[in-house]
A and B are shown apart, each in its own frame.
Chain A
Amino acid sequence: MKTELPVGIINRENSGLKKLKPDIPRITVGLATCGAAVGGTAIYERLRESIQKRNPDLSLVPTGCIGYCREEPIVTVAHPGKPLVLLNRVSVKDCDDILNAVLSGTVPHDKALCRIEEWDHLMGHNITYGRGFDEIPLYDEIPFFGQQKKVILRDAGIINPEDIDEFLAVGGYSAAYNALRNMEPDTVLEEVEKSGLRGRGGAGFPAGLKWRITKEKKSDKKYIICNADEGDPGAYMNRNEMESDPHMLIEGMILGAYAIGTDEGLIYIRAEYPLAIRRLKHAIAEARELGILGENIFGTDFSFDIQIATGAGAFVCGESTALVASIEGRTGRPHPRPPRLTDSGLWGKPTDLNNVETWCNVPVIIKNGSEWYRNIGAEKNSGTKVFSLVGDVEKVGLVEVPLGTTLKRIVFDIGNGGADGKAVKAVQTGGPSGGCIPLRLFDTTVDFESLNAIGSIMGSGGIVVMDEDTNMVDIARYFISFATGESCGKCIPCREGLKHTLILLNRILAGKGTAEDLDTLKSLSETIAATSLCGLGQTAPNPVLTTLEYFRGEYDSLVKL
């Protein structure tokens, strides 16, 4: 199959492999938003200047984030034929030591976190970096990494997101190439259906089914959209996916466009993500240049291109109908469904909308087959999910695990429990639409049904850990204040109901509440959930309802009973 690839692309792939496994030492610096913010940028600049002066033959490249955010800034060193070594918590003053070590054929051992001898990029090449440095632990021996399964984040933090050659070198675009040349659109669609992939944006709607509905609509024009609004506070996996491996998203969208039959795709991304926007634009330009986007992709008669539309700071714009209104240049207020986007979406045309991570799952499914994919995860919840594990947890970071993994495993085995030795009390999942889950329910598995059953949701995958010092009534107030501020104001239950909920919570927190207020709080919440127009209002009371249910004692102690 490979020999069929256009010569230009094969050359780029080979050049990418050389960069990843160079004949000269390769140093990378994690430059996703958070790594850059805690010093990565300064480290990169410092290394660049020193390399220029001392030995311009070293290779220095920016990467995205490998997910262990607590250990940023992370620098990696790969000597030819030796393992890739991760250095953690690097600072500018370590740069000279790093370079001295690299120039004498080794790595600074006091900074070494772990080594990677081989890496399965899953899409093609299984790269063997080499052996040696046995005294540095292996990647899998680090609990934070060892218990994860990286499918979506397989390349994050390892390849240069601003260099299409490296993406090609790890098997990127091979699924799209193979599909466009050798598979019928229907076959691609069937594979996605059989994989059981469910939308990663919150509701878990089967992706293949949504694609099919859009495909079967008769229309001269159709659109596909990527929802990169990532409005949930506390969730940042989509940002990392775009910053660390933007071509993965583009490849997923090409496959979707081919299966559904459309020539135009859009990525709606929040303006708060300038680096992700920049890297996506760069990746789109690189793909166009190689004929991977645009007219007659890979020399076939299939044409497809992607544009970027930026949001402007309204949480409700993540909701599908509001998102479309926003792209059309209107205020992002939801409208009742039906009509669904699949019937009448962007500019009135059938439109398929999926979350960033949903699209990112598609290339591996097509490459490795639906059966391979279904073997990961749980019953009716196939595949992995990337979670952002943040808040009062020791090992903060992005965690990718098979669906069906327990909260306990994520928070304690991977996250190592509370930060600063404090006891974990609860986690909040699903952002403002989710709920607070008490420690005693941590045997719950993270999948769409289990979390719903206990009043929360998976949402986009934010997991905010809260320790013993957290006041759960205050957390409920925080979320209601967030939702009140973000309500678009179109319907009364949400606009007025949330405002009153907030007043009640403030009163209770000020010690002026009564037992009756708690009853009002509950019934008001239920009414808002039942009568609001869109998902924002329907789910906004969840943090109140779950804290009332699981932490009732905290409310009781604040009111005069």
Chain B
Amino acid sequence: MINSKKKLVVIGNGMAGINTVEQILKLTDKYEITVLGSEPHPNYNRIMLSYVLEGSKTIEDIILNDLQWYEDQGITLYTGKMVRNIDGERKRIHTEDGLEIDYDLALIATGSQSFILPIPGKELPGVIGFRDIADCTAMLEAAKTYKKAAVIGGGLLGLEAAKGLVNLGMDVTVVHLMEDLMERQLDREASAMLKAELERQGIKFAMQMQTAEVYGQDRVQGLRFSDGSELEADLLVMAVGIKPNIQVAVQSGIETNRGIVVDDLMKTSMPDVYAVGECAEHRGICYGLVAPLFEQGSVIAKHLAGADTEGYAGSVVSTKLKISGVDVFSAGEFITAPEHTVIVAKDEWKRTYKKVLLRENKIVGTVLFGDVSESASLQKYVRQQTLMTDEIYGQLMGTGCSKDGAKTLSAETMADDEIVCGCNGVTKKAIVDAINENGLTTVDEIKACTGATRSCGGCKPVVEQILQYVLGDSFKSAAKQGICGCTTLSRDEIVAAIKTKGLTTTREVMNVLGWQNDEGCSKCRPALNYYLGMINPDTHENEEDSRFVNERLHANIQKDGTFTVVPRMYGGVTTPEDLKKIADVSLKYNVKVVKVTGGQRLDLIGVRKEDLPKVWEELDMPSGYAYAKSLRTVKTCVGSQFCRFGTQDSMGMGEVLERKFERLDFPAKFKLAVNGCPRNCAESCTKDIGIVGNDGGWEIFIGGNGGIKARLADSLCKVKTDDELIDIVAGVMQFYRETGQYLERTSEWVERTGLEEIQKAVVHDIDNRKALIERIEFTLKQLEDPWKKIIHNADSRKNLFEVVTPSMV
């Protein structure tokens, strides 16, 4: 058979070109495809170069389509081939090195290049852009030999480059012409918050500085600014913008402006020649992000496959900065103008900022900083110019209680061909089909199957919503997994088996219950060790090797590998003598920082591992268990001893409770607070157990949390006497110890178990309360101060803490 396929030649092997090809292949096989790319690599995810530079990905990780893929698809690929021009008369493409290729249809997808400022010295070695693998490798190399880097440009690209270079250990200054960072995506407020955060992460800034010249002998040595001042740098990254690659079009007589001019079907002025991606200019706009390129590619694909398509009408772009710990999002119109109605929430304590702009009550733009959990819904509202309603307002600005319901709804109403994952061009339909056809139940499976969430991760919340919406009720049961990847058994099944089968060690549990991974993992081993100890408090032998480092070494590990020591201070009360001792020991062992914690104690931060036992010995104080899944602190207010409002002795009660229940293991860390009166100065509402004194007794609250999952405590009951108070506290603690899942805080436990269940078990059922108290008392008897124990045990002192230093090398 004579080949009846039409020849499609793609110029540019980048993200837009290959994505268009992928979309074409999904719709039709009537093209014989050839791809020419000037880079020596197969198609890779340019977005992720930031991660390569930052060190969390390698070049191999970011390859999107390897050479095998091209072969499997029957695509002829030329890498390292630069196209010179298109001969529209003969329908032939010419490369720089003399190759000629005939086409029926041609697609220009040549992207853009870094814009290099036209200043003296720009051609010195060490001056580069941030665009491709070559630039990225150049930076990685430079960081090995040089120390000082400058990045010109405080936009998305410049900041990501700067963060990467900081991670590589360089001293980095970002030079920015404007007053605000990312001024094309953020407003002044968000920009200032961003700058503060990045400074915290080690990036320096030279704002409102215009670079006049790059100086250096054989290599860049520094910059000179227009005001005459200088900045030393032995690497200079220019990230001031991009310039569409239009040479091929220019050489071929195709109409260009800033980019290659295209119509709504992405056709250029030359018949049968299309353009897509950053090189294309549509209705006056050249887009510099991937999401629009995929929308353009989809139009071309449908058109070339002969399917109906409406044509490309432009995109609403949104931005996400890929720097860990810095969440920034913006979409649509974000600079306030007189015609906008603005909704703003700024929280300097949580360092969050949220702004939504309305025009004629329609949502037209947004800026988020610090908390971007609403970005998915907001992006959709902006794109669809949704009318603001009370419901949406509540969802965005309210307490967030109705969040789940509203979100599921948005996945449901989303159009099939709406792109969910902008980075990888995955539509809602593709995800829904993948779930239905392959029986997927997790985001990871969807990632492996469709590529969604594979890049910046910004789309993950929406992917989760779609999963939830498609699976409906079966979502929960499908998501029902074992306590970790090593087993399919749940916490309750394991605890029951330990009891009925009389299992005594983690190893035994794993053997008998058929663990897939012989020795378990960092998730199940500590959990099993806890359950075993909770069930058999007298006979269980704590397994050091199944404890997370903090609990094994009885100190908090810090990011540099040093440790923090926190002595106990019962009820947050100390003495001048103890303070003096703490000060002396801190000086002697070079403690880096002495910090007052949120729980009213002193952190001695930065102790070397090998010094820990000596520090404990010399402090001669009990361990504060600041590192453990255990009773941490009992926060107290001043109370009736001194406070003019106090009706109960909160300091006294705090101390009693802390002394009684210290050293007890819990499923997760455990905090108490005791207040002398309802003014609640010690903030009981965010503690696992909060106690508030009143005129005739105490009120007990449980399940509060000020951490990851902020939650106000529920009122459990009121009691009249101190004894009753201690009994109820003991009952709640033991009930939680016995029924909580490992790492589950009481805030989650109370919600899962139900307040009424707990009231029944601890408050109303007196016999049960007694039994709980008996068991907790029995456990309390077994406990010993870990610091003392180690000080007196030469073996564990040596094996756990000492560093071996062989004398001769």
Chain A complexes with chain B: no
Interface of B with A (CB < 8 Å)? none
Interface of A with B (CB < 8 Å)? none
